């Protein structure tokens, strides 16, 4: 039997995406070992989620380091100590130095609350409303040196309603984010995903467009075929 995929999770906030991964693992639907959770904030809720689940967790404060590169090197030295095959940025809110990112190309993914390439960076819900978007969503992508610019693996979409606020959009999108991240990590756990210089390979075949997650949590390709 193939060993469970070892993952490390980076998070800065309350840890709801981490909790979704933990729940899926405990339900037996996500064959992973969460080897460690790391945060830049000692008070991050994600650390409490990890410890409650018996997962090693550590905070590494940026203020303890001379600059961003020194911090990133210290953080990723800790990450590497748990020997992950995949690093999952699940609400991690810091830009990672390009010199560090380059060591993990193809082994690090991020979940971002917009339909990339639209609205990289912060305040995505507010910006989607300001732009008059009628569809909003979330994307899981490979991390590269370009902010939220790596190849997109899969997306979740929701309709924007009249009267939506950034808060209401965020609230409705969150459960779809959870589904999306669990599904994408599942593809990695089953060794079905790989990056290419220009995109993503699924089962050894280039994806012409990001996968889309349906209401039941299944990923589908551009033809509507289940991944």
CB proximity list for 2: less than 8 A, separation 6 or greater:
191
* Spatial contact of 43 and 14, defined as CB atoms under 8 Å apart: no
* Spatial contact of 136 and 170, defined as CB atoms under 8 Å apart: no
Residues serving a catalytic function are: 112
Backbone φ, ψ for residue 180 (5° rounding): -65, -45
Number of H helices, E strands in the chain: 6, 12
Report how far apart the first and last C-alpha atoms of the chain are (Å, whole number). Answer: 22
Nearest alpha-carbon partner for 181 in 61, 17, 3, 8: 17
């Amino acid at each position: 039997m193939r060993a469970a995929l070892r993952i490390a999770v980076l998070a800065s906030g309350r840890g709801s995406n981490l909790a979704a991964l933990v729940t899926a693992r405990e339900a037996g639907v996500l064959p992973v070992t969460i080897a460690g959770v790391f945060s830049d904030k000692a008070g991050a809720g994600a650390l409490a989620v990890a410890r409650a689940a018996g997962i090693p967790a550590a905070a590494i404060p940026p203020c303890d380091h001379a600059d961003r590169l020194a911090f990133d090197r210290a953080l990723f030295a800790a990450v590497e100590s748990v020997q992950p095959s995949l690093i999952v940025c699940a609400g991690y809110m810091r830009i990672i130095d390009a010199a560090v990112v380059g060591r993990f190309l193809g082994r690090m993914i991020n979940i971002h609350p917009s339909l990339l390439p639209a609205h990289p960076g912060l305040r995505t819900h507010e910006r989607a409303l300001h732009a008059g978007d009628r569809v909003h969503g979330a994307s899981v992508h490979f991390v590269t040196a370009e902010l939220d610019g790596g190849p997109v693996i899969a997306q979740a979409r929701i309709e924007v309603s009249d009267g939506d606020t950034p808060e209401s959009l965020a609230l409705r999108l969150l459960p779809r984010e959870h589904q999306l991240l669990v599904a994408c990590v599942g593809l990695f756990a089953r060794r079905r995903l790989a990056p290419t210089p220009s995109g993503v390979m699924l089962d050894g075949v280039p994806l012409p467009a990001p996968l889309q997650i349906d209401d039941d949590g299944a990923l589908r390709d551009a033809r509507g075929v289940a991944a």
